[in-house]
Amino acid sequence: MELRTFVKYVERQVLYKPFEPANLSKKSIMSLAEDFADEIGFKNGADVEPIVEKLGGRIQYIDLDQMYNLKSSFFLHNKNNFDILIPRYTGPIHDKFLIMREIGHYILHEPKEKAVSIKTPTCVEHETANYESFLFAYGFLVPEKRLQEEIKKNKIDNIHVVFGVYPETIKERLKDGDS
């Protein structure tokens, strides 16, 4: 489906079941993300777009005016068929994190059935699901074991380059107390 048609379709007709939190611990989510990275052979700093394709999804870059009207940047149509919408005006590091955050939703919060739902998640449920997907992205892009290996080999100020993330991401990962 052409992007413009897809966006109009979403804006007018489709109600997607909202994500519900997985209610897993931070450690469990990070471990799941790290295991997933190992399982698919993800290398530090590599592109994440092929992961989306491997899972059956598509990445679509859209203009700000199209993004403004949407309530989500992730649309699961059914198993192995989803779209991730990325604003055209962001850079590759931001895009990488956003894509992995949405993959976190896909893995952690995938609805068991494809159902139109009028249930609106509570603010707490919504925030919890988003926090969980955020943790997944952190754990995937900067796995604990690999981070420890890089700390032994590289200057701390250069590690973000190895992982292809912002320097702040490494600082936060270290601040977590997990590293």
Q: Is there a domain that residue 149 lies in? A: no
Residues shown for the chain: 179
Q: Is there a domain that residue 67 lies in? A: yes
Q: Is there a domain that residue 178 lies in? A: no
Q: Is there a domain that residue 167 lies in? A: no
The pLDDT score that the predictor gives to residue 118 is: 35
17 in helix, strand or coil?
Answer: coil
**107 compared with 3, residue with greater pLDDT:** 107
pLDDT in tens, 114-156: 443 334 455 566 788 889 999 999 999 999 999 999 999 988 8
Average pLDDT, the chain: 82
Q: Is there a domain that residue 164 lies in? A: no
The pLDDT score that the predictor gives to residue 7 is: 56
Q: How many angstroms separate the first and last alpha carbons of the chain?
A: 44
Domain total for the chain? 1
The pLDDT score that the predictor gives to residue 13 is: 41
User: Is the distance from CB of 85 to CB of 76 less than 8 angstroms?
Assistant: no
Q: Is there a domain that residue 166 lies in? A: no
Q: Which residue segment(s) compose the domain that 47 sits in?
A: 3-142
How many alpha carbons fall within 13 Å on the CB side of residue 31? Answer: 5
- CATH number, domain with residue 71: 1.10.10.2910
pLDDT in tens, 3-35: 655 555 554 444 556 677 889 999 999 999 999
Q: Is there a domain that residue 66 lies in? A: yes
Amino acid present at 113: E
Q: Is there a domain that residue 23 lies in? A: yes
The widest CA-to-CA distance across the chain, in whole angstroms, is 53
